[in-house]
Structure formats: structure tokens, C-alpha cells
Copies of this chain bind each other. A is one copy, B any other.
Amino acid sequence: MTPTNRKRARTATALLAASLGLHSLAGADEGMWTFDNLPAAQLKQRYDFTATPRWLERARLASVRFNDGGSGAFVSADGLVLTNHHVALGQLQKISSAKRDYVKNGFFARTRSQEVKCPDLELNQLVSYENVTARVLGAVDPKASDQKQNEQRKAEIARIEKESSDKTGLRCDVVELYQGGEYWLYRYKKYTDLRLVMAPEAQAAFYGGDPDNFTFPRFDLDFAFFRVYENGKPVHPKSYFRWSRAGAKEGELVFVSGNPGSTDRLKTVSQLEYERNYHLPDDLAILRHRRLALLAYSAKGTEEARRAKNLLFGIDNAIKAISGELAGLRDGTLMARKLKQEKAFRAQAAARADLRRYGDAWDKIAAVQDKLAARHKQLMFRNLFGSRLAGLATTIVRYVVEVKKPNDKRYKEFRDSALDSLNFRLFSPAPVYKDLEEAALADCLRQSLEELGPDDAHVRAALGGETPQEKAHELVSGTRLDQPAARKALITGGIKAVEASKDPLIVWARAIDPAYRKLRKWSEDEIESVETAEGRRLAKARFALYGKSLYPDATFTPRLSFGRVAGYEQGTTRIPYKTTFYGLYDRAASFDDRPPFDLPARVARERGDRALLATPLNFVTTNDIIGGNSGSPVFNRHLEYVGLIFDGDIQSLVGRYIYDDAQNRAVAVHSSAILAALRRIYHCDALARELTGR
């Protein structure tokens, strides 16, 4: 399952980067392209297709970003949005309770009045964008230190965002692309009144569970419908995808529009080595530690299991994804290819008088990796992943301090342009389960202690001489931050209120803040500033050599990829381009209906429905996607909706570093499967009619 865009814990460095040794793109369906820079010649030559500006605008406006970490699309004139069940899962869990478990049983609004408002879901639609590279770089003094330049660049970005959002009222983000080669201002329309319309049972959506995750052939109904409201009424979007009659066909050209989260294709070999030797192993250690703690919590009872489900799902998903990435980096083949590409790029740059001066950039970046390696444990094992309350507390403590600074001096996440969305999440009425919070926080503290030892500044402040279990219990049982009103009061009260607060979690968050700020400053000054500066130098060399025949690394911003519906060879046999419902019932019967291969009753009931059995269920395409693309529409050249991205196959995991169309496949729910499920399994006939007009 394509992971939603889980932010990596490596502070700021993950978003920066380096350069690439380039391989030819000719003939491949590679690329997560920005809407302004589709490879027109390639599309024309491979598929005899030309994207007109009107076509591109319609595709862009029909696509949305889910700020929970996914993508989606408008599919009706009345604001219906289709995404993955696993993107909707967080909201489904937040509106569920012990008595009404929509995750387990599915959710079906048969009339508009039954549609349920989501507590803290925000959608973004990219309505306009412009290149602001000249302005950002113009504000930077090239003779200043790396650190100074970094500050100047960030300040100018903050100014651009603020100006634009003040003027338009839109969410305005300046996005760094091509490792600092370009900066673009993206203006998004925000939607915050989202209502749940329909979601199948989790077991139908995530059929086969963790074993079948990142696997094809596959048999998942991983879809969910929301409706977008404004002023209490469904919106009528300027653009939406029409439902295809036939759905995806073998060999046809298809597009995927969505928000790929992050790729590392342009990183230097030394950066990839850091990933391989430190970052990914540390990341896995955190995930596995937390997983065991949450499994122990879940084992206490069905209600505990229900509460932890979404978090555990995300952890399992990330473990499988990161394991695949790490296996790729540890496999000599991939690194050898990367090394060869880098050597070629260096040689080409060295051969040109005007580019020769960039030759030391690789070495400077490599030197930074050694610095990182020396502190990798601090960078990773001070994190509080898994505890929502701890995240809220530390955010509040930083929030009140940061917003007092000039806009351009703040941490990025507290800039004016980001505050609306942040407040929306901060004041979310979604339920907080204290027992779950305590288990997660205790585990965070326990792992920090194990990995960093009792003398680490963060550990000392976070434990204050107590055991992790004692501390977590004290903090969680005593806090009132589970109430949105308590959080609001602190934000409204500002620094004074936070400093006066006796809420144990706030007291604690204040205590650990200095160590956090110190480490972050070190990371920004010593790591980020160098990686950005040197990355930009490499970007210059790259532009000079290759122009804009390339796409930037993914940044959880709107991209378009193209490809074709196609099976592949695996081992010594063939994998078909699609599966059918026959296959779903085969897999269930083959495992004698044992979990995670059991069927929800509604699905099991239809196992003799001959028309349903032969219906396409999932299919694969060569489109270049990655986590964050979950919920992306798959559409054909006529902008018809033919499928719904929900995963990549296991061979796609190394796609974080390199794309190879032999076996790298995007996995999608076939549009015919969605329609057949609505009509023949869930009897949502009105919804089916809204999609098809029939």
C-alpha cells in the first residue's frame, strides 16, 4: 500500500538534497512532472499525445491534496471526492467509537443528510502557480556565508508567501524544486468542510493485510468517498473527472495526478550511504520498537485494538516500505548504478570550463554526511513518534514563541501562511485516547533512554529522574490537552499562558524545548545550509548540462505522471495487468478464510455472482509514483476516470532512489470494481448514479 506521506524524522535535511548522475529518459515512462513542464516530445513520440493547456488545467483542478497525507480527485458535479480507504482511515477512526466502528463495518450515507463531517480533514486544490526563482535568489547575497544565505532565502520565501496569502486569501506555499534550482509559488484553495459519504469495511479495503501490502496480484477495494461542502452546501467544482464506461484497458496510455511525498533520486552517493547506514536503520528501529508496544496495548482488548488500528496500520506500512528501500540500497546493483551515474555527471561537469568550479560540491556534501553520522542517534531517537499528545504539547510551546518573531525569522511550520492549517489540526475535536497515548509516550521515552543513555540532554529533561513508565503516566493522566478548549486557551493566552501553565505536559514540553532548539539550530546551520548551497550548485550544473528535460524530486506537491496499463515478467512467470473478483474469492478460499484473508460478510455473500466475479478488480501501470500518491486518480487521454492508485508493487520501493519500468508498477483499483462494489455489494445505487449519470 502506498504509504501516506509520513514525514521522515531527519529534521530538515530530508527535504534538501544534492544532485544526480543522469540516465537517459528516452523510452521510459519515468517522471513525476510538474504541471508546467510535461515532457511533450516524449509523450508525442511514445503515445502520440499532446496535452493542451486547457487539458492540463482541467486535470489539475480536478485533483486535490489530502493534508492527512494523500491525494484524491473530484468525480462528480456535486463535489464528490474519491480517495483511498487508507487515506480516509484516520478520519474514519476519529468519527468512530467503541459502539460505532466505521473502520470495521464500513460507512454508508444513503442520503446527503447522513453524510458525516470530518473533524480535521483539509483538502488543497492548486488553483494557480508561478515561478519565483528570480525573486528568491535575488534576495540572497552570494558572497555571504552558507548560513547567512540560508537565512536570507528563508526570509524571502516567507515574505512571498505572506504577501500572496494576504492578497488572495489562499494558502500560499513557496516550493523548492530541482534541489534549489527553481522556486515556485503555489496557491491552493483550502477545503475544510469534508463529509464522509461511503467507505467499505477495512478488511475489504485492505484485503490480505500486511502480507499482501506492496504486492501484486492484489484484490483490494481501497476506496472511500467524501463530499466537499462550502457554506453548508456541496461545492460544484470547476473541473471533475468523468467516469469511464470501460475502465482501464491493457496497453492504454494513462495519467496519474497526485502529490508524491518524497523521493531521493537526486541525492549524491554519500547521501545515499548515510540513508543506508544510519537513517533507514534508525527509522526501522523506531518503528519496530513502537510496533511492539502498540501490539502489547492492542492485546488488552477489542476496544484497545480498535483505538490503535490506524497507528499500527501506518507503522506496518512504513516498516514494509522502508525495509524495501533499505534492501534496495544494500543491494550492490542499485548503488553501483548510482555510482556510475554520479561519475558520469562529474566527468561531464569537469569537461566544461564553465561548470568545472562545481566539482567540489560532492565532497562538501560528503563531509556533511560524516557530521550527520556522528549525531545520528540524537537526530533520530529524541523523537516522539506515535504520541499525539506529546506532539500537541511541543507544538504549543513552540507556537507561542515563534509567532512573536517576525514572520521571516520563524520556524517554517509557524509562518503566517501555514497557521490556518496548523490551527485546524491543533484544535481538532478528534478523540484522544489517554491509555493509548500513555503506552505510546512511555515507549518513546523508553527507546530514547535505551539509545541515548541517561545523560543525553533530551533524556535528562524528558525523564527528570523518573522511569519512562512513571513519567508517561504522570504526564498523560494529569494533562488536559486532550480537550481542544485547553489547547485553544493556551494558544490564545500566548507565551504568558504557556509559561504559567501547570499542565504537566506543558511543563514537560517546556523542559525538553531547549535541547530541541539547540539540535535544530545545529542541523540548520551545519547541515541544511551546506546541503542547500551545494545542492544548488549541482542543480546549476545539471540545468546547464540537461536543461529542463528532467523532473524534480517529489515534495508532496502536485505532479503528473504518464504510463501504460501493463503486466510484467516476475521470476520465470507472468503477472497479468489486472485481477478480477474471481481472484479475491480464490485467495480467501485458498487460505480457508483465515485472517488477514477473510472476507467481510457483505463481500462473502456475493461469491456466486457471476457478473461480479469476472469484473476487473485491481490493475497495474508503469506510472512513476510514490507514497503521497495514495488516492490519486488514474485517467485516460479523454480525462475519464479509469482507476484509483492505492499502492506500488514490491519492486517499486526502490523507486525512492531509481526508476526501472521492467517491474516497477503502480497498483490501482479498477473503476469497474468501484462501480460493481457500489452496486452489487454495498447497494449504494444513488452514489453509483451520481458517478455515471445512469
CB <8 Å contact, B590 and A211: no
Asked if A694 is an interface residue, CB under 8 A from chain B, the answer is no
Q: Does A217 lie at the interface of the complex (its beta carbon under 8 Å from any beta carbon of B)? A: yes
A573 contacts B by Cβ under 8 Å: yes
Taking the complex as formed, is A608 at the interface, i.e. its CB lies under 8 A from any CB of chain B?
yes
Most buried by B among A579, A583, A586, A589: A586
Size category, A interface: 35 or more
**B583 A212 Cβ-Cβ under 8 A:** no
Task: List A residues 582-600 near B (Cβ within 8 Å).
Answer: 582-583, 585-587, 589-592, 597
A631-659 CB contact bits vs B (8 Å, 1 = yes)?
00000000000000000001000000000
| B-contact 0/1 string along A543-582, CB 8 Å cutoff | 0000000000000000000000001000111101111101
Q: How far is the CB of A206 from the nearest CB of chain B, in Å? A: 14
Check A607 for interface membership: any CB of B closer than 8 A. yes
Is A182 interfacial (CB 8 A cutoff)?
Answer: no
Residue of B with least CB distance to A215: B573
Residues of B within 8 A of A613 (CB): 582, 585, 607-608, 613
Partner of A580, one of B572, B589, B597: B589
* Interchain CB contact under 8 A, B212 and A650: no
Is the beta-carbon distance between A572 and B650 smaller than 8 angstroms? yes
Taking a contact as CB atoms under 8 Å apart, the answer to whether B572 and A214 are in contact is yes
What is the bound-complex CA distance between A583 and B217, given in angstroms? 11
State whether the Cβ of A503 lies closer than 8 Å to any Cβ in chain B.
no
Q: How far is the CA of A67 from the CA of B571 in the complex (A)?
A: 32
Query: Are B580 and A586 in contact (CB-based, < 8 A)?
Result: yes
Q: A583-B583, A610-B608 are in contact. Are A211 and B574 (CB under 8 A)?
A: yes
A323 cross-chain contacts in B, Cβ below 8 A: 572
- CB contact under 8 A between A580 and B590, given known A607-B610, A608-B610: yes
Write out the residue numbers on chain B whose beta carbons fall within 8 Å of the beta carbon of A577. Answer: 590
Q: Does any Cβ of B come within 8 Å of A320's Cβ?
A: yes
Q: How many copies does the complex hold?
A: 2
CA A280 – CA B592 in complex, angstroms? 41
Write the chain B residue with the least CB distance to A570.
Answer: B571
Question: A571 to chain B: which residues have CB within 8 Å?
Answer: 215, 650
A211 and B572 form a contact (CB under 8 A): yes
Distance in angstroms between the alpha carbons of A19 and B532 in the assembled complex: 63
What are the residues of chain B within 8 A of A583 when measuring CB–CB? Answer: 582-583, 586-587, 590
**Which of chain B's residues have a CB closer than 8 A to the CB of A213?**
572
Task: From B212, B250, B324, B610, give the contact of A573 (CB < 8 A).
Answer: B212
Interface pair B576/A590, CB less than 8 Å apart = yes
List the B side residues contacting A573 at CB < 8 Å.
208, 211-212, 215
Give the contacting residue for A586; candidates B582, B591, B597; CB below 8 A: B582
For A574, the chain B residues whose CB sits under 8 A away are: 211-212, 591
Per-position 1/0 for A455-468, Cβ under 8 A of B:
00000000000000
B578 A590 Cβ-Cβ under 8 A = yes
Closest to A613 in B: B585
CB atoms of A585 and B587 under 8 A apart? no
- Judged by a CB distance under 8 angstroms, whether A614 is at the interface is yes
- Report the separation of the CA atoms of residues A126 and B324 in the bound assembly, to the nearest whole angstrom: 52
B585 touches A582 (CB 8 A): yes
Within the complex, the shortest CB–CB distance from A317 to chain B, in Å, comes to: 12
CA distance A579 to B597 in the complex (A): 13
A576 to B614, CA, bound (A): 22
Bound complex: CA A195 to CA B631 (Å): 60
Chain B residues in 8 Å Cβ range of A607 = 610, 613-614
Chain B residues, CB < 8 A from A572: 211, 213-215, 320, 323-324, 650
| Closest CB in chain B relative to A112 CB, distance in Å | 36
- Is B250 within 8 A of A592, CB to CB? yes
Among residues of B, the one whose C-beta sits closest to the C-beta of A614 is: B589
Query: Could you say which of B215, B582, B591 contacts A582, with CB atoms under 8 Å apart?
Result: B582
Which residues of chain B have C-beta atoms less than 8 A from A214's C-beta? 572
Q: How far is the CA of A591 from the CA of B567 in the complex (A)?
A: 9
Q: Closest approach, in angstroms, between the C-beta of A617 and any C-beta of chain B?
A: 9
- Whether B590 pairs with A217 at a CB distance below 8 angstroms is yes
Q: How far is the CA of A586 from the CA of B612 in the complex (A)?
A: 12
Minimal beta-carbon separation of A508 from chain B (angstroms):
39
Which of A's residues lie within 8 Å of B, judged by CB?
208, 211-215, 217, 250, 320, 323-324, 567, 571-574, 576-580, 582-583, 585-587, 589-592, 597, 607-608, 610, 613-614, 650
21 CB < 8 A contacts A-B = A214-B572, A217-B590, A250-B592, A323-B572, A324-B572, A572-B650, A576-B591, A580-B585, A580-B586, A582-B582, A582-B583, A582-B585, A582-B589, A583-B583, A583-B586, A583-B590, A585-B614, A586-B586, A607-B614, A608-B610, A613-B613
Given contacts A211-B572, A608-B613, 13 further A-B contacts (CB under 8 A): A212-B573, A215-B571, A215-B572, A215-B573, A250-B592, A571-B650, A576-B587, A576-B590, A576-B591, A580-B590, A582-B582, A582-B613, A607-B614
